[in-house]
Amino acid sequence: MPRPLPAASDKTGDGNLDAKKEIKEDVIGKIIALLPRTEDQKRDALAKIEDGYFHLGDLYYFNLNEKDNAAESYEICCGASPNPSIPRGTL
């Protein structure tokens, strides 16, 4: 005898669709809660990004001997962005 098809709201056939949706919404909510909202939070976030680009440049330059990638990271860090999608002086 053939197995019955799952209900429209239960595409996995095991009743976990709603639970997976709730978990996904919970993860999204946690990520949104971490976004900087105040000017101080935004300034701190940009400082962390700038620091990250600087350390990435060091990694490229000293550890991987990739001078071009290092230069690009340092330029982004210093506001001389070669990437038009990152406005000059953003970081």
pLDDT in tens, 19-42: 888 888 889 999 999 999 999 999
pLDDT tens digits along 38-81: 999 999 999 999 999 999 999 999 999 999 999 999 998 887 65
- Residue 65 is assigned to a structural domain of this protein: yes
- Residue 79 is assigned to a structural domain of this protein: yes
Q: Spell out the long-range contacts of 46-49 with Cβ–Cβ below 8 A and sequence spacing 24 or more.
A: 46/90, 46/91, 49/91
- Residue 9 is assigned to a structural domain of this protein: no
- pTM score of the predicted model: 0.60
- Residue 41 is assigned to a structural domain of this protein: yes
- Residue 10 is assigned to a structural domain of this protein: no
- If one counts the domains in the chain, the total is 1
- Residue 60 is assigned to a structural domain of this protein: yes
Banded model confidence at residue 4, pLDDT cuts 50, 70, 90: low
- Residue 86 is assigned to a structural domain of this protein: yes
Domain with 91, as residue range(s), is: 37-91
